[in-house]
Structure 1
Amino acid sequence: MTVRSADVVVWGATSAGVCAAVAAAEAGAQVLLLEPGMHLGGMTSGGLGYTDVGDPRVVGGLAGRFRRAVADRYGVGVGTWAGPEPRVAEAIFLDWLESAGVELVTGAALGGVDAADGRICALRLADGTTVSAPVFVDAGYEGDVLAGAGVPYAVGRESRALHGERWAGRQEIRPGRHSMPDWVSPFRDDPSGLDDGPLLDQLRPGPLAPVGSGDGGVMAYGYRVCLTTAPDRIPFRRRAGYQDAHWELGRRLFDRWARCHVEPRAGDLLGLEPNLPGGKCDANSLGPFSLNVLDGSAWEYPDAGPDRREELRLHHLHHAEDLLWFLANDPAVPAGVRTELARWGLPPDEFTDSGHLPHQLYVREGRRMTGEVVLTEHDLLGTRRWCDVVAMGSYHLDVREVQRTWQWEPEHPRPVATVVNEGYLSVPVPPYPIPYRAIVPRFEDCANLLVPVCVSASQVAFSSIRMEVQYQMLGHAAGLAAATAAASGRSVQAVDVIALQARLRDEGQVLSL
């Protein structure tokens, strides 16, 4: 058994993890950054090139430094590009770690967490290595370290009654760009939707929970694929496991649109705009049938074990690859969509060790720590003041679709079944402060852990905080606090927040407007 130690151990080389590691190292700590995969940067380098910023006035600290680094790489002004090409994002982060003297270990799968008397003693890796430190940072999207340490957490949607939140819980079925049109039958053997029977693929069986109830629903995951129109693009391929029957829902959707005289564009489904340098695009999920997987498999992911998570990851990856083939080739897809998709392909210089598809699943939400302060929609919409603010947010409440299921609609002379997408929600918020107490557990739960990703928040509040720039800024704060706690021997809850705020301001973090 190998035994390793450091002043600060950061779990997860997401953008939050990289920023936490760099901030702690620049503050004088010896830092070990552990990444279970083979790449770093999380979604910032894993397909989410077009980064949602919100109000740029709140973006400072290491998040601001990253934006400047992107501008310098391309020789343009800050903000010219909302994000870099994936390989460039990873290169910037690698440069940062090397300059700061952070040791990065990839392929470091987590085997377990040793905790006693309200403290983490060590992380056990799957290869038998034990890693100890005075202070740990859980910067993973899933919150595996906090869960392993016994820190309480929540997963999925709560009821409206829990925090008195208007936007919590199961949502009403609303019209909109992300909604299915009426009268698409969910039944495999009956396109009319009249006779109950086996369901089509890509549906969650249901039934729908009551509106406003806490059903544990998790917003959809997917892959944000990077595409290009360059002459050397790699054409979409028909995967060996591709199944025609799996895409019957898409055929019925396009048939319904045709009967309603709706002519969808490929960009209405995937957002095919050259929004990245080099003529590339970060394909997004913009319509009712997209890269998002809405069969409810995301609901299972946060608490699943490693083997099941890998199955779910491949399920999402195959969905992305097969959707691109379906839209580009299936005769049921409108000719205009197929023609547009023919202009696009996978970039040969991105994701070269993963078949040119991203290495990072877009885990929009995993576990959420239950800390001393639980942020809710009231804190974001009401711009509550906090004495211990360490970063700011500004992006709207952004809950993506949670499920695709079906329901009976009362019609004459008998009910008709129709497919529905449920859960999408977008509500503007003003710039708001994020307190230090939202990234640390309660003292009695764990005294030496900081959590800049799976923060203490309701699902509604988390839907705004979950942006990569906020993760970078919260990682910055967590790294500085971790270095301070390690050097002083004090708990993370006893860190001098006033001194922490002063250092954050000195390093460009925006704490108020």
Structure 2
Amino acid sequence: MDGTGTGGVNGMGVQSSGEWDVIVVGGGAAGVAAAIAAGRQGARTLLLERSGFVGGISATLPWLGFHDQDFQRVVRGLAGEFADTLAAEGHASPITLDPKCGSLVAVHPHYWKVLALRLLREAGVTVLLHALFVRAIVERVEDAGEGARGGVCTRVTGVEVESKSGRTRFDGRVVVDCSGDGDVAVSAGADWEKGRTGDGLVQSPTLVFRLGGIDDDAFRKACQDPSFAYREWFVPYPELFARLAERLDEVDVWVLGGFAGLVERARAAGDLDIPQSRIVGVKLSTPETPHEISVVMTRVLGLDPVDVGSMSEAYGRVYEQIPPIVRFFRDYVPGCADAYLVEIAPMLGVRESRRIVGDAVLTADDLVEGRRHPDDVAMGGYHIDIHRPSGTWVSSTNVRAYGIPLGALVARGMSGLLMAGKCLSATHEAVGSARVIPICLATGEAAGTAAALTALAGGSEVRDIDPSAVRRALLAAGAELGVRALEVHPDAEKWPRLPFDDAESERAAESATAAADAELLRETAWLAGA
């Protein structure tokens, strides 16, 4: 905006752009949903995104976790609208079940960006791209209510953004932090945590890429061969694997998590030297993307996602891993002899960063026990899926369908500030489930709805809004809050289910991982400057 725009330029050389009801910072899955939800409620809404497109990492990955491991539908609302609309237009697969991830949808990455912008515009949202968040604008409020610390509360009243147009100030009644890193909340002075207890290391990130030229029949047959163990969680359960293998004849999209023997053979031959010991990814098929695999094998150990030097080094490392992984697929994986690189994601997939401490904190026990809360505004059911911060493969804990309370989206000690997506208030373990795309869409929709209701009531304090009003608005919009019995997918009985207490799978995975991990401990040395 130029200096002649609304508000002009203030004394500090920062342009002012009037007041908004809701400002959403970050245009990934959570931010897109938050902005659309707020706009549909009638709030004057601004979405700020640093890239030249919206959707973030959700525009590069299949979407996992619409259902829990009992194949009950736990995410609907905007997430379901996006998936259904794309599928109806031929740009996404139908929902396919998966015994570990619940369910998944393969989404055409570019048509998802198109749809997201279209729905934002239809909701009346103003979208500013290439707009980099700089700092939160705050004021101190004395004798504040429930959200105060020591009788004083920090109220977020807006944000400053840097762009080609210069530094601009945007004032707003409520700000929703969907930055993924909790940038707004941290700038405002909110409490935060990062990484696992003890060493602070976060889940290893991945730069996703797509391979084309896959011989679907040959690759499917390899996946159906138990000797390849394409889905490693089923190794201790041969009867369940046989049922799973049968299902591959009837689906075009399925999750990959195995082939450890092939990776080990390539490593022993000197053909593959990466900090991953499995083929991880998704066999894709949409009308525009047949014969493809989304590869989720690159990884960096020891990353600090909020340190620019660490992030820059991480990009260098993951880009170097892609050519040898492509060669590995061609030389070792059945059906992939003619595989070729289609596309590399435009950004690193950071699974975990800062987590803002909220009025409530979502824990692993909440997930494992399937706890519900009176102020639940979203649900999840994806397993606790932790891509190990200091090793290969993943650690997994099965969960029950669980609720996400509004308090986990409200920053403790703050007024006028909500957060959604992977920077919500949760432990390291809990965010291993709540970070996946459909759940981020659900928490974004909840935060945007709560922000709009707060702003339209003339305030900035979300705690003044009755959570039941937020719940009613979400239910009216089609969100799933578990008010009635969760709907079981009609194909549920056709799919095998892993035991809830799946110790056998975890033990098998640990055994197959130990040797590779011992080799890869050197990968964390760069964090200390070695």
How does the TM-score come out when normalised to structure 1?
0.70
Which residue in the other structure is 1:90 paired with?
113
The alignment status of 1:269 with 2:279, answered yes or no, reads yes
How much does 1:280 deviate? 4.9
Give 2:213's match in structure 1, choosing from 217, 220, 229.
Answer: 229
Which residue in the other structure is 2:35 paired with?
21
Give 1:144's match in structure 2, choosing from 183, 192, 203.
Answer: 183
The alignment status of 1:447 with 2:415, answered yes or no, reads yes
Which residue in the other structure is 1:66 paired with?
82
Give 2:169's match in structure 1, choosing from 130, 134, 156.
Answer: 130
Q: Which amino acid aligns with 2:134?
A: G
How much does 1:34 deviate? 0.3
Which residue in the other structure is 2:447 paired with?
478
Which residue in the other structure is 1:432 paired with?
402
Which residue in the other structure is 1:106 paired with?
129
How much does 1:70 deviate? 1.9
How much does 1:33 deviate? 0.4
CA distance in 2, matches of 1:111, 1:30: 22
RMSD over aligned CA atoms reads: 2.8
Give 2:61's match in structure 1, choosing from 30, 38, 48.
Answer: 48
Which residue in the other structure is 2:365 paired with?
378
Question: For 1:7, what is the secondary structure of its paired residue?
Answer: strand
Q: Which amino acid aligns with 1:429?
A: V
Give the conservation status (yes or no) of the 8 Å contact 1:112–1:148: yes
Which residue in the other structure is 1:344 paired with?
339
Question: For 1:133, what is the secondary structure of its paired residue?
Answer: strand
Give the conservation status (yes or no) of the 8 Å contact 1:9–1:32: yes
Which residue in the other structure is 2:143 paired with?
none
CA distance in 1, matches of 2:398, 2:436: 14
Which residue in the other structure is 2:511 paired with?
none
Moved more, 368-377 or 316-325: 316-325
Shift in CA distance, 76/120, structure 1 to aligned 2, threshold 3 Å: closer
Question: For 1:58, what is the secondary structure of its paired residue?
Answer: coil
CA distance in 1, matches of 2:318, 2:269: 29
How much does 1:275 deviate? 4.2
How much does 1:268 deviate? 5.2
Q: Which amino acid aligns with 2:383?
A: H
How much does 1:71 deviate? 1.7
Give per-residue Cα distances to partners, 1:146-184, cap 9 Å, x unaligned.
1111110100002xxxxxxxxxxxxxxxxxxxxxxxxxx
The alignment status of 1:391 with 2:378, answered yes or no, reads yes
CA distance in 2, matches of 1:393, 1:497: 18
Shift in CA distance, 155/227, structure 1 to aligned 2, threshold 3 Å: same
Give the conservation status (yes or no) of the 8 Å contact 2:62–2:282: no
Give the conservation status (yes or no) of the 8 Å contact 1:223–1:316: no
Give per-residue Cα distances to partners, 1:11-36, cap 9 Å, x unaligned.
00011101110010010011110001
CA distance in 2, matches of 1:477, 1:255: 46
Larger fraction in strand: 2
The alignment status of 1:504 with 2:474, answered yes or no, reads yes
How much does 1:481 deviate? 0.7
How much does 1:282 deviate? 4.6
Alignment of 1:199-238 (within 5 A): 214-229=198-213
Shift in CA distance, 17/486, structure 1 to aligned 2, threshold 3 Å: same
Give the conservation status (yes or no) of the 8 Å contact 2:63–2:436: no
Question: For 1:509, what is the secondary structure of its paired residue?
Answer: coil
How much does 1:346 deviate? 3.1
Shift in CA distance, 394/258, structure 1 to aligned 2, threshold 3 Å: same
The alignment status of 1:279 with 2:279, answered yes or no, reads no
The alignment status of 1:363 with 2:347, answered yes or no, reads no
Give 1:120's match in structure 2, choosing from 156, 180, 198.
Answer: 156
CA distance in 1, matches of 2:431, 2:263: 34
% identity of equivalent residues: 30
Which residue in the other structure is 1:469 paired with?
438
Q: Which amino acid aligns with 1:502?
A: R
How does the TM-score come out when normalised to structure 2?
0.68
Give the conservation status (yes or no) of the 8 Å contact 2:83–2:92: no
How much does 1:123 deviate? 1.3
CA distance in 2, matches of 1:282, 1:492: 43
CA distance in 2, matches of 1:320, 1:70: 32
How much does 1:360 deviate? 2.4
Question: For 1:140, what is the secondary structure of its paired residue?
Answer: coil
| Count of residue pairs brought into register by the alignment | 390
Give the conservation status (yes or no) of the 8 Å contact 2:160–2:168: yes
Moved more, 117-126 or 311-320: 311-320
CA distance in 2, matches of 1:345, 1:216: 37
Give the conservation status (yes or no) of the 8 Å contact 1:223–1:320: no
CA distance in 1, matches of 2:169, 2:435: 30
How much does 1:431 deviate? 0.4
Q: Which amino acid aligns with 1:318?
A: Y
CA distance in 2, matches of 1:328, 1:506: 47
CA distance in 1, matches of 2:434, 2:292: 24
Question: For 1:92, what is the secondary structure of its paired residue?
Answer: helix
How much does 1:227 deviate? 2.3
Give the conservation status (yes or no) of the 8 Å contact 1:18–1:475: yes
How much does 1:50 deviate? 4.7
How much does 1:270 deviate? 4.7
CA distance in 1, matches of 2:455, 2:206: 37
How much does 1:384 deviate? 2.3
How much does 1:341 deviate? 4.8
Which residue in the other structure is 1:401 paired with?
388
- Structure 2 spans left out of the alignment, 5+ residues: 1-13, 97-103, 141-153, 216-261, 271-275, 486-530
CA distance in 2, matches of 1:397, 1:269: 19
The alignment status of 1:308 with 2:292, answered yes or no, reads no
Alignment of 1:250-269 (within 5 A): 254=265, 257=268, 269=279
Q: Which amino acid aligns with 2:107?
A: P
CA distance in 2, matches of 1:50, 1:91: 17
Shift in CA distance, 325/395, structure 1 to aligned 2, threshold 3 Å: closer
